[in-house]
């Protein structure tokens, strides 16, 4: 078919023009990003990795270590500078979390959740909320739990039933939350509750002191992984909170939650990257030292093929996460789609990398003398939380069925 113009098509000129337009595309990290990564890696090597096995075995929540992370700004990485945060981009924060997660995936995962909740509170909260909680949360002196999931509202978060009824100048909150990270050991609950009618538009967000009258906590769940952070159910019975504790306007809660989860998906994907990188490094060292049939295991072609696939999948996941983080930073119209893609791809591929690393260790990978089984246990839940990977596929598929202009 002839072009709808009299001008001849000049592919070479078009390519040259497009190249000129895109000459600012750079996949290398800048000096500042390298510095962030180096600082995070040093912290992980000194404060996280040497104690990760102990925390895992004893289900120890290392609050003092998290406070030391806060001293370096790691508890407020992408909170706005005007509110006292570091003001980093989501891409920069992702680089930090990736390095920290190589030291202790479980503890870093909690720090990412704390960052998300702190960002919600400081970005959308009023002056009174920020004055009460902002500085303490951003320094790590106080810790936050994010409370969205309910017994009957997991993937279908908009159907949550926890209620917040107006009572004079206060709200009375009743309901239950489950699978809440840090619950029982944190200081503030960033909690979603229904102030209006059914659906997403009836949900509002609140900052509630974790020790408020009427709040009770269940037992610390015995989990497969993530043992260095407690996970409990929360029951709220006539919990009275002042109206000024509301974060954002009435009915804005679900929008705040979903905005937080875009970043949360990047964060948890970054934790998977860190776990996979640590697993690959451990496996690489092991197969070079381990000898079978008179030669190093690394000399077998099958081992080399497995390592090649692990490294390729890790790099592919890294690039997808960094692209999605960049889209989020740019406020791209399809940022939520890309964050879902990154979370789905990175958590699936990186779990496989951890599992393959365990397999390369044979029986030694299955015992706790080596960290491989912990990498596998800690990274498995990443495919479930922040929206299951099945829900990520739903988000992506809806966008695909609309059109493919986002590609």
Question: Maximum CA pair distance of the chain?
Answer: 80
Which residues, at least 6 apart from 199, have a Cβ–Cβ distance to it below 8 Å?
A: 158
- DSSP for 303-333, written as a single string: HHHHHHHHHHHHHHHHHHHHHHHHHHHHT-T
To the question of pTM greater than 0.85 for the whole model, the response is yes
> The domain at 254-402 falls in which architecture?
Up-down Bundle (1.20)
**CATH number, span 145-251:** 2.40.110.10
pLDDT above 90 as % of the chain? 89
CATH 2.40.110.10 residue ranges of the chain are 145-251
386 is catalytic: yes
Q: Find the catalytic residue in 71, 250, 386, 390.
A: 386
- Give the tens place of pLDDT for each residue, 44-93: 999 999 999 999 999 999 999 999 999 999 999 999 999 999 999 999 99
- Residue range 31-143 forms a domain whose CATH class is mainly alpha
Return the sign of the alpha-carbon dihedral for residues 398, 402, 403, 407: negative
CA atoms within 13 A on the CB side of 282: 28
- Identify the DSSP state of 143: -
Mean pLDDT of the chain: 93
- DSSP for 157-191, written as a single string: GGG---EEEEETTEEEEEEEEEEEETTTS-SEEEE
Which residues, at least 6 apart from 96, have a Cβ–Cβ distance to it below 8 Å?
A: 36, 37, 39, 40, 74, 77, 88
CATH 1.20.140.10 residue ranges of the chain are 254-402
Residue 143 has pLDDT above 70, yes or no: yes
CA-nearest of 356, 187, 208 to 282 is 356
Angle between helices 372-380 and 253-289 (to 10 degrees): 160
Residue 169 has pLDDT above 70, yes or no: yes
- Give the tens place of pLDDT for each residue, 312-359: 999 999 999 999 999 999 999 999 999 999 999 999 999 999 999 999
């Amino acid at each position: 078919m002839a072009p709808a113009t009299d001008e001849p098509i000049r592919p070479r000129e078009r390519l040259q023009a497009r190249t000129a337009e895109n000459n600012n595309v750079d996949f290398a990290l800048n000096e500042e990003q390298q510095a962030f990564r180096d600082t995070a890696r040093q912290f992980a090597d000194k404060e996280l990795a040497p104690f990760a096995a102990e925390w895992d075995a004893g289900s120890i929540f290392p609050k003092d270590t998290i406070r030391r992370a806060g001293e370096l700004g790691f508890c407020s990485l992408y909170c706005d500078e005007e509110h006292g945060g570091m003001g980093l981009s989501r891409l920069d924060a992702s680089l930090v979390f990736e390095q920290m997660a190589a030291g202790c995936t479980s503890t870093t995962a909690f720090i990412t959740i704390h960052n998300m909740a702190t960002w919600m509170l400081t970005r959308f909260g009023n002056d009174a909320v920020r004055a009460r909680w902002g500085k303490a949360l951003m320094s790590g002196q106080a810790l936050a739990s994010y409370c969205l999931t309910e017994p009957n509202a997991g993937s279908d978060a908009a159907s949550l039933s926890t209620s917040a009824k107006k009572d004079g100048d206060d709200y009375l909150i009743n309901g239950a939350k489950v699978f809440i990270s840090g619950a029982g050991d944190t200081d503030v609950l960033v909690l979603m509750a229904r102030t209006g009618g059914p659906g997403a538009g009836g949900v509002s967000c609140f900052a509630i002191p974790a020790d408020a009258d009427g709040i009770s906590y269940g037992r610390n769940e015995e989990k497969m992984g993530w043992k260095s952070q407690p996970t409990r159910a929360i029951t709220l019975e006539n919990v009275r909170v002042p109206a000024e504790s509301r974060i954002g306007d009435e009915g804005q809660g679900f929008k705040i939650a979903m905005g937080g989860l875009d970043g949360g998906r990047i964060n948890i994907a970054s934790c998977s990257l860190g776990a996979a990188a640590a697993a690959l490094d451990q496996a690489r060292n092991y197969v070079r030292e381990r000898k079978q049939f008179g030669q190093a295991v690394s000399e077998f072609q099958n081992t080399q093929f497995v390592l090649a696939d692990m490294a390729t999948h890790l790099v592919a996941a890294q690039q997808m996460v960094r692209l999605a983080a960049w889209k989020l930073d740019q406020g791209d119209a399809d940022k939520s789609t890309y964050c879902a893609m990154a979370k789905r791809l990175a958590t699936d591929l990186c779990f496989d990398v951890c599992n393959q690393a365990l397999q390369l260790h044979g029986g030694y990978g299955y015992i706790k003398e080596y960290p491989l089984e912990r990498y596998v246990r800690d990274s498995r839940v990443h495919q479930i939380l922040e929206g299951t990977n099945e829900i990520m596929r739903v988000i992506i598929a809806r966008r695909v069925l609309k059109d493919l202009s986002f590609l």
